[in-house]
Structure 1
Amino acid sequence: MRFSSLFRKGLLASVCAAVSLSSASAASLKIGYSDWPGWVAWQVAIDKGWLKEAQVDADFQWFDYSASLDAFAAHKLDAVMATNGDALVTGANGHKGEMILVTDYSDGNDMVVAQPGIKDMQGLKGKSVAVEEGLVDHLLLLKGLEKSGMSEKDVKLVNTKTNETPQVLASGQVAAIAAWQPNSGQALHAVPGARPVFTSHEVPGLIYDTIAVDPQSLHDNHDQWQRLVGVWDRVVTYIQDPKTQPDALRIMAARTGVTPEAYKRFLKGTHLLSLADGKGVFVKKEGLGSLYGSTEISDAFNVQQGVYKSPQNIDSYIDPSFTASVK
């Protein structure tokens, strides 16, 4: 799913930045997407030909998530599918993307999974928890502790790569792990009796998933980006309509290499947002109900964890005009 990384710098990035001056305005929009239901959803529009119908010349390129962020940071993509917190990280490391569409928020796929016998977050007090420090589920863990009247000082963090957390939980080395799907699901399967004691369902809006676009490409290809945003409601409707959902699941599952039945479980932990929903999220206010408020929380977390040094200008990362313009 998602991964906040400190991106590579140096000669290669400089060369790619120079190349981007000529490539950013290319007719085809180069968009990086990866294995998260709100982003895999675009496969429906691709396979159904809806983008071409809307006269959108888009080249969707499939990546592991962290690799897509690296490619965007190196100016190899016009846009990347990213969480709102990770969009800040790319900007702090040299390539700002403007979020023009919110596809969804995590609604249970991000979890704190505990060993059998531990029934709630308070059961973790004084125990070890494996999490990849500085990443989005570290923030989820902190929110879970906060809601249970505890803090990070009440547990012992074991810095662990997210894709290794299922094995670490199964080894018995820790009392719990914090991870996203499919890793969280793998942990539940690997340890019979393990259970989620806190999930993103309890903090809706903590993790928004977005399309972040290079500002130059937005300027040069404004009409195409507007038309692409306009396709989104058709995608959401096709996925949510009981009559067409089986076909949508077939398409999404084929893209990720799992069964439609398995992918349906992932979809349940993702709250897709229609454009009408998105217009509400783009209203500037405090709190998790707003992309602005949520991103401020991610920004404070990133600074606290040393992902970057200074708070970012949140407004400069958010452009509500594309979503607002769709009638």
Structure 2
Amino acid sequence: MKYTTKNLMRGLFTALISGIMVKAQVGAEPLKIAYSDWPGWIAWEIGIQKGWFKEAGVDVEFAWMDYVESMDAYVAGKVDAVTMTNGDALVTGGTGKPSVAIIINDYSNGNDMIVGAPGIDSLKDLKGKKIGLEEGFVEHLLLLKGLEKLGMSPDDVTIVNTPTNETPQVLQAKAVDAIGAWQPNSGQALKALPGSKPIFSSADVPGIIYDVLAVSPESLDTRKADWAKVVTVWYKISDFIRDEENLDETLEILSGRVGVKPEEYEHFLKGTYILSLEEALERWEDKEGLGSIYGSTRIANEFNLKFEVYDKSQDAAKYLDPSLTKAFAASQKSE
């Protein structure tokens, strides 16, 4: 065979998938992934239900958990990987167990929001007011970025530390003037108090929150070929979701996982920007600012240090590995 560039690229990725270029894999245990209630992570259900992992030749076991519980399971070594935000990956690493993101599933595009009580129409209206949110979590960072855009100081508001799943009740009780939460909690808050409204959201600062598949370095090192297959399945899922002809089936599968009506779930899906392969490659470029997961993760690290989420700065680059996505993209171009 004549070894053209295309043949070489295809051959390299095939070798990666088959394990020729990686260390010997350990046993035949399924890869264990903890995932939770977020559209970009529930999206894995499409691959599960359609049997795409089996078609790709990889055995994967998905464990459905609450978000914090899923991170705890990862730190405890009960799973090989977990779906997390890029900022929370730093937290689990800085306080317990590092991970490596191999897939950028999406970025939040409105599902994370600051919800104001009736009469609160903008962040400016919150000066001197109380905001219920979970300190040190992504909604706290979202609020600070919103205040920064308006030239306001964090001291202009009072944070009431509130578990995210309790924010709807706190807003309904009028114990605070606004809350910070992600879906489905933000949506529940809007329903709980008539007249409440979103006054700032992740759609106003795209890239402030990236959602990823974070893998343990040990599992990635010993089973890279299997994780490469998971990457191929993810982009099959991404293509499926982004095709409008598949919208009804997508909504049926995703809404079924959380027990809501498909028409109700469509709003959640719109608030999550599922990245195409080409868009993911752009976000994988190491740049400053929110248009890069590297820049976004560095901003999250600064936030975590400022609020003493952990006491030692984390190197964003050590938490990010675009190699499998880039290898897959190269193989696609060669076909």
Q: TM-score with structure 1 length normalisation?
A: 0.91
CA shift, 1:27, in A, is: 3.1
Distance, in Å, in 1 between the alignment partners of 2:174 and 2:76 is 40
Equivalent AA in structure 2 for residue 214 of structure 1:
S
Match of 1:161 in 2: 163
Equivalent AA in structure 2 for residue 213 of structure 1:
V
CA shift, 1:93, in A, is: 2.2
2:104 and 2:280 in contact (8 A); partners too: yes
CA shift, 1:75, in A, is: 0.9
Say which SS state the counterpart of residue 267 (structure 1) adopts. Answer: helix
Equivalent AA in structure 1 for residue 32 of structure 2:
K
Say which SS state the counterpart of residue 243 (structure 1) adopts. Answer: helix
Task: From 34, 50, 73, give the equivalent of 1:32.
Answer: 34
Max Rg structure: 2
**Deviations, residues 224-266 of structure 1 (Å, cap 9, x unaligned):** 1111101122212222222222111111111111111121110
Distance, in Å, in 1 between the alignment partners of 2:209 and 2:301 is 12
Match of 1:195 in 2: 197
Match of 1:313 in 2: 315
The question of 1:257 aligning with 2:280 is answered no
1:239 and 1:249 in contact (8 A); partners too: no
Percent of pairs with identical residues:
53
Equivalent AA in structure 2 for residue 266 of structure 1:
F
Distance, in Å, in 2 between the alignment partners of 1:283 and 1:297 is 16
2:26 and 2:223 in contact (8 A); partners too: no
Task: From 112, 121, 135, give the equivalent of 2:137.
Answer: 135
Q: TM-score with structure 2 length normalisation?
A: 0.89
Match of 2:186 in 1: 184
1:25 and 1:216 in contact (8 A); partners too: no
Equivalent AA in structure 2 for residue 218 of structure 1:
L
Distance, in Å, in 2 between the alignment partners of 1:33 and 1:223 is 21
**Deviations, residues 62-93 of structure 1 (Å, cap 9, x unaligned):** 11111110010011111110100111111112
Bigger shift: 76-85 or 168-177? 168-177
Distance, in Å, in 2 between the alignment partners of 1:24 and 1:200 is 40
1:25 and 1:220 in contact (8 A); partners too: no
In the alignment, structure 1 segments of 5+ residues that lack a partner are: 1-22
Provide runs of 4+ in structure 1 moved above 4 Å: 23-26
Distance, in Å, in 1 between the alignment partners of 2:290 and 2:130 is 28
Q: RMSD value over aligned CA atoms?
A: 1.3
Distance, in Å, in 1 between the alignment partners of 2:35 and 2:59 is 16
Match of 2:285 in 1: 283
Match of 2:52 in 1: 50
Task: From 251, 265, 268, give the equivalent of 1:266.
Answer: 268
Distance, in Å, in 2 between the alignment partners of 1:124 and 1:139 is 16
Equivalent AA in structure 1 for residue 51 of structure 2:
G
Say which SS state the counterpart of residue 61 (structure 1) adopts. Answer: strand
2:84 and 2:213 in contact (8 A); partners too: yes
Distance, in Å, in 1 between the alignment partners of 2:294 and 2:223 is 25
1:206 and 1:294 in contact (8 A); partners too: yes
Match of 1:4 in 2: none
Say which SS state the counterpart of residue 230 (structure 1) adopts. Answer: helix
Equivalent AA in structure 2 for residue 227 of structure 1:
K
Residue correspondences, number? 305
Bigger shift: 84-93 or 285-294? 84-93
